[in-house]
Amino acid sequence: MEECRTITSRGKKTVGNKEKVILLMHDTYGKEETAKALPEIIKYLRDCGYEFKIIK
C-alpha cells in the first residue's frame, strides 16, 4: 500500500502545473501497485481540469 501512495504522489508531483502532460506508467508483472494507483491519479488530473485524449 505504501508503494501505491508513493506512485500516486510521484504522479501528482510530475504533473505540477503543466498545461499538457503525458504520464507513462508501466503495468507489467511486478508493477501491480502502478495499476492500483491509476484511479486516484486519474481523479486528481480530472479534478485539476485535465482532459484525456488519444494521441495520434
pLDDT tens digits, residue range 3-54?
888 888 888 888 888 888 888 887 777 778 888 888 998 999 999 899 988 8
pLDDT for the residue 53: 87
Decide if 33 contacts 3 (C-beta within 8 A): yes
3-state class (DSSP) for residue 23:
coil
| pLDDT value, residue 1 | 63
> Global pTM?
0.74
